[in-house]
C-alpha cells in the first residue's frame, strides 16, 4: 500500500477535519493502491494539516457518484458539477479515520519544495 500527499483547498481541508467531508474528489487517481492521504491545505494556509486513511475508491459517472456520496460530500452540487464538467468518470477517495496534526507541518518535512498540482507519492 502507498501514501500520497494531496493538495486540497483550505475550505475542503477544514470540512475533512470537521468530519463533514468524507469523500475527496479527483478527476484522476493514483495508479498504485492508496491506504493513506496526507492533507496539504493549499494557499493561503500552505501547511500539511493532517492525514486520513482511505477506505475505498469509488469511480462512476459524475451524476451517479453524486447520488452515492452527496450526504458526506462536503461540497455544493454546483461546485461538484463544475469540477467534473466534461468528464465521463469521476473518482472519490472514501476517507476513514482522520488524524489532525497538533502542529501543522511544512512540505519540507516530507522532502518537498513545492506543492503537487494533483498528488505526490510519499515514501514510508
- Residue 107 pLDDT > 80: yes
| Burial annotation 88-115 (CB, 10 A radius, 16+ → b, else e) | eebbbbbbeebeeeeebeebeeeeeeeb
Could you tell me what percent of the chain has a pLDDT over 70? 99
Confidence (pTM): 0.93
- Residue 123 pLDDT > 80: no
Domain ranges of the chain: 2-122
- Residue 111 pLDDT > 80: yes
Q: Quick one: pLDDT at residue 117?
A: 85
Angle, vertex CA 84, rays to CA 68 and CA 72, nearest 5: 30
Q: Provide CATH code, domain 2-122.
A: 2.30.130.30
Look at residues 27, 84, 83, 88 and name the one whose alpha carbon lies nearest to residue 61.
88
Look at residues 4, 23, 2, 3 and name the one whose alpha carbon lies nearest to residue 12.
23
- Residue 124 pLDDT > 70: no
Amino acid at each position: 500500500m502507498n501514501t500520497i500527499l494531496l493538495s486540497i483547498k483550505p475550505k475542503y481541508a477544514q470540512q475533512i477535519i470537521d468530519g463533514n467531508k468524507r469523500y475527496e474528489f479527483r478527476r484522476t487517481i493514483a495508479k498504485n493502491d492508496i491506504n493513506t492521504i496526507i492533507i496539504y491545505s493549499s494557499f493561503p494556509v500552505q501547511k500539511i494539516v493532517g492525514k486520513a486513511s482511505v477506505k475505498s475508491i469509488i469511480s462512476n459517472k459524475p451524476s451517479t457518484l453524486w447520488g452515492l456520496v452527496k450526504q458526506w460530500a462536503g461540497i455544493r452540487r454546483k461546485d461538484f458539477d463544475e469540477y467534473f464538467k466534461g468528464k465521463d468518470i469521476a473518482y472519490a477517495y472514501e476517507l476513514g479515520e482522520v488524524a489532525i496534526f497538533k502542529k501543522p507541518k511544512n512540505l519540507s518535512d516530507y522532502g518537498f519544495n513545492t506543492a503537487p498540482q494533483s498528488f505526490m507519492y510519499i515514501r514510508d
